[in-house]
Structure 1
Amino acid sequence: MSKSVAFIGLGVMGYPMAGHLQKAGHRVTVYNRTAPKAGKWVSEYGGAQAATPAGAAKGADFVMACVGNDDDLRSVVLGDEGAFAGMSKGAIFVDHTTASADVARELGAIAKEAGFGFVDAPVSGGQAGAENGVLTVMCGGAQADFDAAAPIIDAYARACKRLGEVGSGQLTKMVNQICIAGLVQGLSEAINFGEKAGLDMAEVISVISKGAAQSWQMENRYRTMIDDEFEHGFAVDWMRKDLGICLEEAKRLGTSLPVTALVDQFYGEVQGLGGNRWDTSSLIRRLRVFNGK
């Protein structure tokens, strides 16, 4: 059924996600910090734009957000012009930002006291997943809130699952990023090693990708890694932000992430090469530059 939906944050992920909601028949009002981008979205998809998050959220059944980090999230949610100020009792806020579990719990508690639902729902699948409507969405929140929000999220999701109470979605996304960090470093080392050994790495990947070494990263990034092309996908700056969240949470939990910490350091070296906006598979560029050092 058609619902009134607000979408806050029209970055590389949010822009197409909001578009899928409008195309699914929902009545979408968007807000973006830079208003011309919201105007461009309306001209492309229809719907409406608002001057503030509160204005976008006013009268909405669901308010979705996808911004940069904890501070960005608080800035569009709290205060007189924040989304919470415009929401009605019974509405549900769905946060697609990759942020800390702490901020999810903080905002979830405020939402509960105000009489509306909160679901932390970070996504995986990158820009291509958002554009094609096939994201994986990891959710935390009350079962009733998740059950209500899931059909709306389905507009841009291939998989959507509740993992527990508020904060569980963010913790699951941390697990996701920890796995990816190790995979990309391993793939970078393997390709660099194979090239140094004189192997045709495209042919090598065509064989080993059919066995136990297979991964999404291998299937989708090996060619551009071989070609030393990194102008696509999930940026190093964003990955470092995410890994910082993982490392901070690990410290709080009293556990260690030695491989993650090392890969985070390596991404810092990629930033030093000017690779802030390169795709995360650019770890191999670091090996090529610092080979033998």
Structure 2
Amino acid sequence: MQDCARGRATGSVRQSGEPSNPMTAIHRWPRASRWAAYALALAATLAVLLVRAQLTSLMAHRPLIILFVLPITLSAVLGGVGPGLVATLVAAVGADLLIFEPIGFGISAPIDTVQLGLLVAVGVLISVLTEGLHRARRRAEDARALAAYGLLLRVLSERLERAQRQVQEGQALQSAILTSVGDAVIATDQQGRVTSLNARAEQLTGWCDAEAVGRPLPDVLRILHGQTRAPVLDPARQVLATSERVGLPADAVLIARDYRKLPIQGSGAPVRLGDGSPVGVVLVFRDDPAANPR
């Protein structure tokens, strides 16, 4: 009998009591909605201009340009640097036209020029600083998302490794069980191709597991009727066709790879998953020394 050298493949959610960052309350405007932020900047600044114009009799010659800090800040917080600068520009032009003397372009008092310059400087500073806060918040959110993604990948990787170890352990256990079984065992897939042989099946058929895997069962398990020498129908095909256990003929003779003739007894049965669906066939057989092959 051929000596086989066998090679087998072995295969976080934020808590309710956690303190929140005040900047997370600032809404991040979607790109398609940034026009709304610019419209808000324009409307809020014009509203302050109109209110200030209505208070001219009460304010006398006091510009009170500090009022424009509110729409500038609101625009920068909700829209970023662009809307903040728009609000600053509208406030500066509006103050020059409607508030500072003389009415219209041009400022007569040097102190008013200083105040207008301070308004522009404060508006630019607020817009730039607020944009920096927006970017810092976005970086923090991206970092948290990246950390969560990394944690997810690590968990999935650990589960995959654990599943692979379980599969390998299951394969090793299955191989050990099949090796310890005294009878010969051959397993096939749904197409009747050999998927594994145990050691006893290798001894009787003369085929190594590594060489037999993937071959049609009749290539490895060649069986004839002892009296007629007619080939026995492929037992794996019979099991797959009927989904029932099939026994070998009483006079079955195995023709080994080295042309030994061995009377055998055995049967084949379907292999099913937990839901009952078939996934292959298992054949168990043994040699029958009491019979004398002709």
Same fold (TM over 0.5): no
Higher radius of gyration, 1 or 2 = 2
- TM-score norm. by structure 1 comes to 0.25
Using the size of structure 2 for normalisation, the TM-score is 0.25
RCO higher in structure (CA 8 A, sep ≥6) = 2
